């Protein structure tokens, strides 16, 4: 089935929450539930991000197949010592579509959209073996420190088209990440 990557629309909000909840349910690294509905914290986080100053609508993409949302990825405004940068995540794929390239298509789409917007840098917290294929590498190699030193090489960065090597310092995620 063909998967289309496109910008999120207001009609997608409930489906994005459902896909995000399903994608992170039972995952060892998932955030604990923060809402009374008991879904993983990542599902609530996406809603909080949508309502925050860090939200960039052009960087919230869905994967649609057969009229159904099967994945979602978002990058939001963060900073490196006060300078603009992006934080990627959560990236969510419906459990029955994982391993089929949906996540890769979403990550490539968000990177391309960020490049088109003239963004300098994107960071994430994730598995190095997976994200290195998209050009991410340990953030420390670029002089970017994580908000939590214990993250080590799982905190990764990728220079974008407008990257300036002088952009160094500590990354701060959009405010909703501090709630989660």
Residue 114: enclosing H or E segment and its boundaries?
helix 102-116
Three-state SS at 128: helix
180 pLDDT above the threshold of 70 = no
State pLDDT tens for residues 30-88.
454 455 565 657 888 899 999 999 999 999 999 999 999 999 999 999 999 999 999 99
**Following CA atoms 144, 116, 56, 2 in sequence, which dihedral angle do they give, to the nearest 10 degrees?**
-110
The span from the CA of 3 to the CA of 5, in Å, is 7
* CB-CB contact of 176 with 49 (8 Å): yes
pLDDT of residue 36: 56
pLDDT level of residue 177 (50, 70, 90 thresholds): confident
The domains located in the chain, with CATH, are: 4-179 (3.40.630.30)
State pLDDT tens for residues 105-147.
999 999 999 999 999 999 999 999 999 999 999 999 999 999 9
Count of CB atoms within 10 A of residue 96's CB?
9
* pTM flag (> 0.85): yes
Q: First-to-last CA distance in the chain? A: 35
């Amino acid at each position: 089935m063909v998967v289309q990557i496109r910008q999120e629309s207001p009609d997608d909000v409930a489906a994005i929450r459902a896909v995000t909840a399903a994608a992170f349910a039972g995952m060892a690294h998932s955030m604990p539930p923060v809402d009374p509905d008991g879904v993983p914290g990542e599902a609530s986080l996406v809603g909080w991000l949508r309502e925050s100053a860090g939200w960039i609508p052009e960087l919230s993409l869905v994967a649609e197949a057969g009229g159904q949302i099967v994945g979602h990825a978002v990058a939001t405004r963060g900073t490196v010592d006060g300078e603009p940068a992006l934080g990627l995540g959560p990236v969510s794929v419906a459990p029955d579509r994982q391993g089929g390239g949906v996540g890769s298509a979403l990550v490539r789409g968000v990177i391309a959209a960020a490049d088109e917007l003239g963004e300098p840098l994107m960071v994430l917290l994730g598995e190095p073996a997976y994200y290195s294929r998209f050009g991410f590498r340990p953030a420390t190699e670029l002089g970017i420190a994580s908000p939590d030193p214990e993250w080590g090489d799982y905190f990764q960065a990728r220079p974008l088209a407008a990257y300036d090597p002088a952009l160094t310092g500590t990354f701060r995620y959009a405010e909703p990440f501090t709630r989660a």
